[in-house]
Structure 1
Amino acid sequence: MMAAGVALQSIREAVETACRAPSLHNSQPWRWTMSGGRLQLHADGSRSVPVADPIGRQMVISCGAVLHHFAVVISRYGWGAAVERLPDSRNPMHLATVAFEPLPRSRAADTENRSDALRTAIAHRRTDRRPFAAPRPADLVGVDEDLVPRFGASLTMLGEDGPSRMAEAARNSASIRRYDPAYHAELYWWAGHRLPDQGIPGAALPAEGAVPVGREFPVGTLASPESGPDRAALAVISTEADTRLDWLRSGEALSHVLLTATSRGLATCPLTHLTEVSASRALVGDAGADAGERFPFPQIVVRIGARPGGDAPPMTGRRPVDEVWRA
């Protein structure tokens, strides 16, 4: 069977690879459905994380990341993804419909090389919560290329005061949630368990605990071979508005940033807890504005740095493709 000339098996394989995208607590809150020769992406409310993410912002951002991953992967088969976002006003969980269009037979070499690099990066990207060494400035050049025209989102690198200001935001978020038993029960359900195809295993959580800007996860078993403070660069992805569309597109921008950084050999870690609580989100917004950000709504903070020595974090599990895909 074909969909607009694309073999259905190729689409299924692309979906399976795209589902390597990051999501809040590795919740994987997405469903894919083929309908009328097009691929639909739906948010899966049964996979939400309602205490940490009561309005579903992070759920939609996660779906934006998997949507961009899919667009990257399908180019391997010579097809582009023409994306219609939020196509059904009556169904807010229907986030995108993808039609397929053939890519030009002779694309510019630099375009082809960038596509290959991003596709390769999917298999190597990890959320690494350990301290990083500082990235070289040259490695960060162009990480934000075309984010505004492509996704309506911007990436702003925070200045030297970024780590202290984001640590303050992290402390603020943690203090608000410190005596919230529902939040901690939810966190411990998703993190530190041996669930084979979802959540965050203890092997992916640092044995030394969180870096100052990080979420306070359960202590895990992942060793940090390099001692010393976290020297990661901190970047904020922001949008002009704060609608469901902005959340989706900021997730696409996040995917692009993570894969671009990974393709350059850098380690990354999204920090969603800093924007889940309104008070800490305001601190992030202030820091971004002081660094030159012109968009008023921070959606995600990203740590980017040189990889720690030793082994990379393990690849976290993903649900079988037939649980998230229907044709």
Structure 2
Amino acid sequence: MSIGSPERALEAALEAGRWAPSIHNTQPWTFAVSRQQISLRADTARKLPVSDASGREMLISCGAALFAMRTAMRCGGYDAVVRILPDPDRPGLLATISPGGRIEADEHTRLLGGQITRRHTHRAGFADVPVPGQLIDSLVKAAMIEGARLTPVLSPAAVDVLAALTRAAQGVQNQDQRFGLELIRWARPPGSTRADGVPAAAYPREPTPTEPDFPQRRYSWRHGWGAETGQDEVSTGVVAVMTTPGDSREKWIAAGQALQHVLLYACAHGVSAAFHTQALEMGLLREFMRQELFSGEYPQLLMRLGVTFDGKDSPRRPLSELLQ
């Protein structure tokens, strides 16, 4: 393969970072470039003050951006030199990344790099197509490489418990106007030209319940926006939980990197993810899950993995808005 200049590798990394997944597609990151080094910062103006007061989900999102940048830089022919939380006096500076020695990206890295702009979040049920067990095993290994644990929940009883906790959290949030107003801030109407948030075509107007039912976010609250749900996409898919042994800012960034590694590899094999983090946004429920379900590890993400024939894209802000 031909290897470009370090400047080209930096450009590729910046472009890749903006395509990472984020809660409500808030895209809570900014980039700065100086002396062949990218600084990744959290954009706290895009933090969700009600559902994510600690900034945990914001940092997970930024961690996903960091992994995309690492991958693009390696695909561009350079090792990625990364420093996590390099300056205690600058808490908003989450990481720096710069091109190191020249390398030739391996097949796995090139596979991941090819999915960065293709991957998208699903917000409904899945088609009744099984996810191969061998793929799930590979996703577990991908998360482990990044310092997190992905646990597929195979027991129907355990899946029922997680679904019930999600429904309980969703029910509480539905009664809290603060959650509702925060959510609709990021729900985009049909024809919106905004380059962030969740467009109407990407969330269901009236979601079709799965069995057991994992409720979706109510992006259609108080209006009739949203897409018609395909009646053939009602499968729950494979339920999986991402956990970390600790709950520090560093662990949140690690969970984000693990998430993006998992999502890109899944996408390369025709599998998408739907997220259900409502229960993790409520401290008592999250602590219950940690103690009773996950052997003391901290749950960071709850997701369903499955096959969908929905190819909708999510908008992304132009790079010019992200550079500082």
Q: If the length of structure 1 is used for normalisation, what is the TM-score?
A: 0.87
CA distance in 1, matches of 2:261, 2:218: 26
Distance change >3 Å, CA 306–CA 162, structure 1 → 2: farther
The answer to whether the 8 Å contact 1:158/1:287 transfers is no
Distance change >3 Å, CA 287–CA 195, structure 1 → 2: farther
CA distance in 1, matches of 2:65, 2:208: 26
**More divergent stretch after superposition (96-105 vs 206-215):** 206-215
2:187 maps to amino acid: A
CA distance in 1, matches of 2:207, 2:242: 25
Distance change >3 Å, CA 232–CA 283, structure 1 → 2: farther
1:82 maps to amino acid: V
The offset of 1:195, in angstroms, is 4.5
Aligned to 1:198: 196
CA distance in 1, matches of 2:239, 2:76: 35
Distance change >3 Å, CA 165–CA 286, structure 1 → 2: farther
Check if 1:27 corresponds to 2:22.
no
Check if 1:144 corresponds to 2:152.
no
The answer to whether the 8 Å contact 1:170/1:215 transfers is no
The offset of 1:90, in angstroms, is 1.1
The offset of 1:151, in angstroms, is 2.4
Check if 1:114 corresponds to 2:108.
yes
The offset of 1:288, in angstroms, is 4.3
The answer to whether the 8 Å contact 2:151/2:241 transfers is yes
CA distance in 1, matches of 2:94, 2:5: 22
Check if 1:125 corresponds to 2:123.
no
Check if 1:181 corresponds to 2:173.
no
For structure 2, the 5+ residue unaligned runs are none
1:45-92 Cα deviation digits (max 9, x unpaired): 111111111111000000000000111111221012111101011111
CA distance in 1, matches of 2:147, 2:140: 12
CA distance in 1, matches of 2:7, 2:95: 18
Distance change >3 Å, CA 210–CA 177, structure 1 → 2: farther
The offset of 1:210, in angstroms, is 6.5
Aligned to 1:209: 207
1:164 counterpart SS class = helix
For structure 1, the 5+ residue unaligned runs are none
Aligned to 1:156: 151
2:241 counterpart SS class = strand
1:261 maps to amino acid: A
State which of 258, 268, 271 in structure 2 corresponds to 1:263.
268
* CA RMSD of superposed structures (Å): 2.1
CA distance in 1, matches of 2:146, 2:256: 9
The answer to whether the 8 Å contact 1:151/1:249 transfers is yes
1:97-132 Cα deviation digits (max 9, x unpaired): 112212434x6xxxx221121111112211111111
The answer to whether the 8 Å contact 1:85/1:95 transfers is yes
CA distance in 2, matches of 1:315, 1:232: 21
The answer to whether the 8 Å contact 1:81/1:101 transfers is yes
CA distance in 1, matches of 2:289, 2:149: 14
Distance change >3 Å, CA 6–CA 295, structure 1 → 2: farther
The answer to whether the 8 Å contact 1:209/1:217 transfers is no
Equivalences for residues 71-90 of structure 1 within 5 A = 71-90=70-89
**More divergent stretch after superposition (201-210 vs 7-16):** 7-16
1:198-232 Cα deviation digits (max 9, x unpaired): 00011000233264223332335333334364331
Aligned to 2:277: 272
2:151 counterpart SS class = strand
Q: Percent identity?
A: 28
1:145 counterpart SS class = helix
CA distance in 2, matches of 1:104, 1:9: 14
Check if 1:13 corresponds to 2:18.
no
Distance change >3 Å, CA 226–CA 210, structure 1 → 2: closer
